[in-house]
Copies of this chain bind each other. A is one copy, B any other.
């Protein structure tokens, strides 16, 4: 596949008139006047910007089905009165269509890889593969449902080594998993050489409970169990003290910042500028659509930047280039994949039509991407396969229709 006459970003500057040659699932070469010997597919990139695929590093994708069903509520009534009753009714078919709906939306926003934690991982994996996205999938694990541990191990066995799906362990949080469960997660992850995905320090209450129960703060507690490593994706990390921040840096933990969900649930503002200063690998996630309520990673970038500037009282922090690094390089490190727009990388990328009023004038390209993007991308390619071309995804109408039916049945 050859993408002709496209623009690229190099050292924050816009380069025009480049070609991208894709062979199989990898970028063979980026340069000028390239030829495609196979001539199987050519995409006209004129007027468009190629960006490397974005990673949504924390979500619960099937919950896209619950979008807009329950908002503006405190966390516990939201869970107890709305989300848990709906989750109790979920079938495999709901998961199939909920995941496809979430994939559809992510494709529109240039997300080529997502890191998920939810039930029914088998159905999630199958639906994700049908949609062509890359994913790190973790079956959520709670003490209250011991069968989830068995399912998690089975899922790892079945999917380890898949080209698109990376199985991951998902102990839900320190307040829903015992020391035994957390230690099991650590051992199972080590044994299988896979990552762990957890919620960490999302609320003030979690810190207070942990101090009361273990005499340690959440990050210290996880460290005492040996869970902190570069194989950990820790979502939220809002309520941290200085020594926890240093510990996260020292252990090379990947912190997944989810500012939109954190604000909407009034959970607080993660100390991201401080985390970055300490050298922590911060990346971004949308969280589930039921607490966001979309899967727009451009919105997440902008919110992360402007909220942190205000929280620090300094407009100079979290510059466009910092955010772009978080959304790309940092995320690629977190998921351990060979992504990015470079010769030899996995062919996961998107094209953005630059001929939009909100991207005019074409001044600072990173500023436009972080602060001005006000719509989706128009072409998305994952693993060398075109998933969306000029805004069109095959089968989109059928997914929207069936997801709507699932929602109506679940809420009837």
- Contact, CB under 8 Å: B105 / A357: yes
With a cutoff of 8 Å between Cβ atoms, the chain B residues found around residue A390 in the complex are none
A299, A315, A318: residue with the most chain B Cβ atoms closer than 10 Å: A315
A100 nearest CB neighbor, chain B only: B357
What's the nearest-Cβ distance from chain B to residue A47, in Å? 10
With a cutoff of 8 Å between Cβ atoms, the chain B residues found around residue A399 in the complex are 357
Q: How many copies does the complex hold?
A: 2
Q: Is A126 an interface residue (CB 8 A)?
A: no
- Contact, CB under 8 Å: B267 / A360: no
- Contact, CB under 8 Å: B315 / A73: yes
Q: Is A109 an interface residue (CB 8 A)?
A: yes
Given contacts A72-B319, A293-B367, contact A109 B374 (CB under 8 A): yes
Number of interface residues of A (CB under 8 A): 73
- Contact, CB under 8 Å: B263 / A306: yes
- Contact, CB under 8 Å: A296 / B67: no
Q: Is A295 an interface residue (CB 8 A)?
A: yes
Q: Bound state CA distance, A363 and B68, in angstroms?
A: 6
With a cutoff of 8 Å between Cβ atoms, the chain B residues found around residue A396 in the complex are 357
Q: Bound state CA distance, A399 and B358, in angstroms?
A: 12
What's the nearest-Cβ distance from chain B to residue A98, in Å? 9
- Contact, CB under 8 Å: A403 / B355: no
Q: Is A84 an interface residue (CB 8 A)?
A: no
With a cutoff of 8 Å between Cβ atoms, the chain B residues found around residue A373 in the complex are 294
Interface residues of A (CB under 8 A from B): 65, 67-69, 71-75, 78, 101, 104-105, 108-109, 260, 262-269, 289, 292-296, 299, 302-303, 305-307, 309-310, 312-320, 355, 357-358, 360-364, 367-368, 371-376, 396-397, 399-400, 403-404, 406-408, 411
